[in-house]
């Protein structure tokens, strides 16, 4: 069964995201989907490819990183092409940090206020998602209006990594930092979408096939990482953390589903 898991894991990005990409193309709309999903997976996969040059890991994981980069390049292209007008754009001065959560904050002096990850009830303390949604991004990163800026930023990101690889590629410390950043960024993949669902109180933009593929992917990753050879600790920790977030967004998706009500 191990060879089958290896094969599925290597090409899992296509299987996981293919249905969502096709849905965007068919509906001519990326409404309900956070562009941060593309950004996180692109940055993570590019970092992982550079990590491989300094510390070659399992070939299946390298193939997975390459297919992830290609898949999410297509995802970003279509998501930008069919982005709804009401999406957060600089020209409308609507940024993630300016979205007002639907929660009525309780008295900060009352220690009895309970902090809940999905808190949306009056009189409660701010939830972690409320706090994250209230943060402003420096230079409005990944909230730009012009699609060309996204591609320029990605090109600059890759060029910077290439330059750093040429300068510090000999350092094992630098290579480990690159690997750690890659897995850490990927682990937080569901968080931006969780924020989007929390602020809109609607999860209709998320397909159940995508959530199911995430959960199945988590299971395969955990089995592969903890039973395979030449697997760095970063990958194992990432798999556990991402599984936790994916369980959270599964609950959230079911809770805020409007179309099924």
* Residue 61 reports pLDDT greater than 60: yes
pLDDT tens, position by position, 205-250: 788 888 888 888 888 888 888 887 777 777 788 889 989 999 999 9
In this prediction the pTM is: 0.74
Closest CA to 194 of 186, 203, 185: 203
Indicate the average pLDDT of the chain.
80
Predicted pLDDT of residue 148: 95
* 23, two tokens: 């849905």
120 or 21, greater pLDDT: 21
Please check whether residue 250 is in contact with residue 196, taking contact to mean a CB–CB distance below 8 angstroms.
no
The share of the chain scoring above pLDDT 70, in percent, equals: 82
Radius of gyration of the chain (CA): 19
Angstrom distances, CA of residue 252 to CA of 39, 99, 201, 259: 22, 19, 9, 14
pLDDT tens, position by position, 82-136: 988 755 444 433 333 343 433 333 333 333 333 345 555 555 557 777 777 777 8
Question: Is the four-CA dihedral 4, 6, 7, 13 of positive or negative sign?
Answer: positive
* 259, two tokens: 């179309």
The answer for residues whose C-beta is within 8 angstroms of residue 32's C-beta and 6 or more apart is: 196, 200, 202, 203, 204, 205, 206
Predicted pLDDT of residue 204: 80
Q: Distance between CA atoms of 237 and 183, rounded to whole angstroms?
A: 8
* 82, two tokens: 């069919």
Q: Distance between CA atoms of 130 and 125, rounded to whole angstroms?
A: 10
The answer for residues whose C-beta is within 8 angstroms of residue 5's C-beta and 6 or more apart is: 220, 223, 224
Closest CA to 202 of 193, 210, 215: 193
92 or 200, greater pLDDT: 200
């Amino acid at each position: 069964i191990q060879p089958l898991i290896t094969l599925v894991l290597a090409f899992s990005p296509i299987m996981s995201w293919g249905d969502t990409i096709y849905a965007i193309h068919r509906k001519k709309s990326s409404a309900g989907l956070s562009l941060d999903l593309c950004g996180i997976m692109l940055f993570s996969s590019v970092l992982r490819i550079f990590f491989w040059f300094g510390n070659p890991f399992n070939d299946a994981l390298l193939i997975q990183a390459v297919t992830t980069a290609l898949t999410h390049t297509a995802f970003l292209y279509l998501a930008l092409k069919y982005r709804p007008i009401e999406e957060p754009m600089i020209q409308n001065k609507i940024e993630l940090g300016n979205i007002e959560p639907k929660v009525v904050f309780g008295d900060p002096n009352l220690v009895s206020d309970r902090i809940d990850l999905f808190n949306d009830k009056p009189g409660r303390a701010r939830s972690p998602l409320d706090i994250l949604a209230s943060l402003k991004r420096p230079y409005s990163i990944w909230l730009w209006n012009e699609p060309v800026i996204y591609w320029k930023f990605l090109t600059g990101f890759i060029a910077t990594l290439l330059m750093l690889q040429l300068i510090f590629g000999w350092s094992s410390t630098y290579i480990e930092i690159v690997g750690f950043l890659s897995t850490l960024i990927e682990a937080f993949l569901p968080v931006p979408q969780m924020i989007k669902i929390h602020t809109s109180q609607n999860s209709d933009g998320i397909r159940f096939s995508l959530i199911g593929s995430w959960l199945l992917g988590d299971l395969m990753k955990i089995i592969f990482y903890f039973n395979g050879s030449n697997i760095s600790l970063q990958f194992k920790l990432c798999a556990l953390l991402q599984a936790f977030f994916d369980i959270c967004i599964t609950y959230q998706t079911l809770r805020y589903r409007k179309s099924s009500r």
